[in-house]
């Protein structure tokens, strides 16, 4: 890429640069104000991580048994057979990982419930759950939680991660605040109506999907996180603008 200011780059050029190298960081200013390019970069980084995991194969040592002595007097010599090189299997694994990533990016995966999709989404973005006292910039927060979607005041807590992510076919704000036991995920879903609170539980997580007006808010923390206070703060801080 050229050294010109990233503000002069359009979305097509930036996506091409990200596709070539998901770690590309020469478009910080653009990503801070373009939710679509930012979501594209996150998705490509997830796919890159899936491929890296596929490459990290743990192949056990091959122990061949000792063969008995064979009388080769009457053995017929057969034509040599072509043996696929070891990297062929590795390539197949990488292709499989790429296909899985493409299906995920394309939204083809189906989930039994909204809670299942939310948990799966959190599994795909573990880097969002980092302990830090550095908040996202106001510009970044406004770009993700736009006034066309919702208004959110600072009473919810220290927002340390803000990204636009697809949930049930809609792009919604994905935020992280710092709780008492660790990072707490918040998903603002203005058009995802639920009639009552839905509990989310897992081996290491504890969460809830709360009805808020015509939409809902998902709040997920670690298994020992006390969410009652956070729930009240978050719900009180959010007003839908849709």
Which of 49, 75, 106 marks a domain boundary?
Answer: 106
pTM exceeding the 0.85 threshold for the entire prediction = no
102 versus 132: the higher-pLDDT residue is 132
What is the helix (H) or strand (E) element at residue 230, kind and residue range? helix 227-237
Query: What confidence score (pLDDT) does residue 61 get?
Result: 63
Indicate if 93 and 160 belong to the same structural domain. Answer: no
Q: Is the pLDDT of residue 29 over 70?
A: yes
Are 171 and 126 in contact, with CB atoms under 8 Å apart? no
- Please report whether residue 207 resides in a domain: yes
In whole numbers, what is the pLDDT of the chain averaged over residues? 75
In the sheet with 159-167, reading across from the earlier edge strand, the strands are 159-167, 170-178, 183-189, 215-222, 205-212, 198-201
Indicate if 119 and 229 belong to the same structural domain. Answer: yes
pLDDT band at 42 (very low <50, low <70, confident <90, very high): confident
pLDDT band at 53 (very low <50, low <70, confident <90, very high): low
Least confident of 29-38, 120-129, 184-193: 29-38
- Please report whether residue 208 resides in a domain: yes
Indicate if 155 and 198 belong to the same structural domain. Answer: yes
pLDDT band at 62 (very low <50, low <70, confident <90, very high): low
Count of domains for the chain: 2
């Amino acid at each position: 890429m050229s050294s010109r200011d990233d503000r002069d780059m359009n979305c097509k050029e930036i996506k091409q640069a990200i596709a070539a190298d998901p770690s590309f960081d020469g478009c910080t200013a653009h990503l801070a104000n373009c939710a679509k390019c930012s979501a594209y970069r996150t998705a490509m980084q997830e796919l890159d991580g899936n491929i890296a995991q596929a490459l990290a194969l743990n192949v056990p040592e091959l122990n061949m048994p000792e063969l008995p002595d064979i009388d080769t007097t009457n053995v017929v010599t057969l034509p040599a057979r072509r043996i696929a090189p070891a990297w062929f299997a590795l390539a197949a694994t990488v292709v499989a990982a790429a296909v899985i990533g493409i299906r995920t990016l394309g939204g083809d995966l189906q989930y039994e419930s909204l809670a299942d999709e939310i948990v799966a989404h959190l599994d795909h973005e573990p880097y969002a759950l980092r302990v830090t006292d550095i908040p996202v910039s106001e510009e970044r927060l406004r770009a993700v939680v736009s006034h066309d979607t919702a208004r959110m005041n600072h009473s919810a807590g220290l927002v340390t991660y803000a990204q636009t992510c697809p949930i049930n076919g809609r792009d919604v704000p994905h935020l992280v605040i710092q709780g008492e036991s660790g990072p707490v995920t918040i998903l603002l879903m203005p058009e995802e109506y639920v009639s009552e609170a839905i509990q989310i539980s897992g081996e290491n997580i504890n969460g809830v999907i709360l009805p808020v007006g015509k939409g809902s808010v998902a709040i997920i923390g670690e298994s020992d996180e006390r969410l009652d206070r956070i729930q009240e703060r978050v719900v009180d801080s959010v007003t839908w603008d849709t």
